[in-house]
Structure 1
């Protein structure tokens, strides 16, 4: 089993980097079960997509999963259901030929029609005006979501500089399993933190 070039983020670490609660990350990417209000039977809800590490036997997500969930949060904040997001993800994946379509630069221009189609399919027509207008759609898919993402020639995200207006720190899945590193020197930020933060003396 090889994990190189994928990125490796435990859910608490992914939560810290994206500022999305761990519980939401697990529900979105691991699926969940609830009791039916009609008969009390358990109902299973599948994950939004098959994560990069789902078949690797580790309780973590990959680099592209980490970036993609930031877009999921943006739509959830505007009241779009997980079912519509799932349908839109499938449609965009098929149209773009990419496993992670929300992160693709094309989504900023082509995503409106994809989500409008998904809303109609799931019956969430009250939100159609929110995505049909270019300005309204850009309020959801803000440019800041793409800020700091570096793309390869295939329109796939390759690096992420998470600090606004700074490239001092980067997440690059080919180095240190994608954990934050200092751009100049590739030293993990955790190493620097533990080297410079004074140790708290223990009691007697």
Structure 2
């Protein structure tokens, strides 16, 4: 008989639940829905696929969402798709990882994708890098930057995505609000609902115990038009 998961482990079960529609994932990552769909496709010109296979119309899990976000960041850094596919295939095979871009930390120099060799061989330390997009070549360097939008567990899993950068209060975290976009632990849709009910900014902020700027960030994320409404008493 399998042991029941501990309460602290329940959120991990949600990592694989298809909770995010393609359109939502695209909006969160600031890319088009067509791009998200294309990255999940395989075909004559893209036999490997940029991301994991999924059925047409199927929603994405948290891990798949994070992979979309990470690849979007790679593309903004001008990393070519063939390099991204090569890195994903290499790490998938070497570490038996179904969602490597969500399960491991990567770095990029704008050309290739790298990861700390310590993630594969812990005894090697953090100053040796493996070029995942080139079959695992090794290099000594510390000048390549990490993706700053993501926070990781010690084991490597990306457990928090800062949607608009580290200075923004907007996050997606599977441990908070069942993985819904949130600000200070409160789902952004909750702020939108209060605003659409006619409440003032000051009142919403006071009730939730957050700063006015946090409420505004949540409303802006939810696409709320703030023009023409009083925001304060």
- TM-score bucket of the superposed structures, by smaller chain: 0.5 to 0.7
Tell me: CA distance 1:157–1:6, structure 2 relative to 1, closer, same or farther (3 Å). same
Q: Deviations over 1:30-70 (max 9, x none)?
A: x1557xxxxxxxx784533436xx47x96211222222223
| Mapped partners of 2:183, 2:15: distance in 1 | 18
TM-score by length of 2: 0.55
Equivalences for 1:131-150 in 2 at 5 Å?
138=144, 142-143=145-146, 145-147=147-149, 149-150=150-151
What is the count of residue pairs matched by the alignment? 166
Match of 1:80 in 2: 80
Aligned partners of 1:5 and 1:174 also within 8 Å:
no
The Cα shift of 1:134 comes to 5.5
State the secondary structure of the residue aligned to 1:60: coil
Higher relative contact order (CA 8 A, sep 6+): 1
Output the CA distance in 2 between the equivalents of 1:44 and 1:115.
16
TM-score, normalised on structure 1?
0.61
Shift of 1:28: 0.6
Map residues 27-106 of structure 1 onto 2, 5 A cutoff: 27-29=38-40, 31=41, 33=43, 45=47, 47-50=49-52, 54=54, 59-76=58-75, 78=78, 80-82=80-82, 84-103=83-102, 104-105=104-105
| Structure 2 portions without partners, runs of 5+ | 1-12, 107-113, 118-128, 199-224, 226-233
Asked whether the 8 Å contact 1:15–1:21 carries over to 2, the reply is: yes
- Give me the CA root mean square deviation: 3.7
Secondary structure of the structure 1 residue equivalent to 2:35: helix
Name 1:4's counterpart in structure 2.
Answer: 14
Unpaired runs of 5+ residues, structure 1, are: 35-42, 121-131
2:46, 2:133 → 1: CA distance? 24
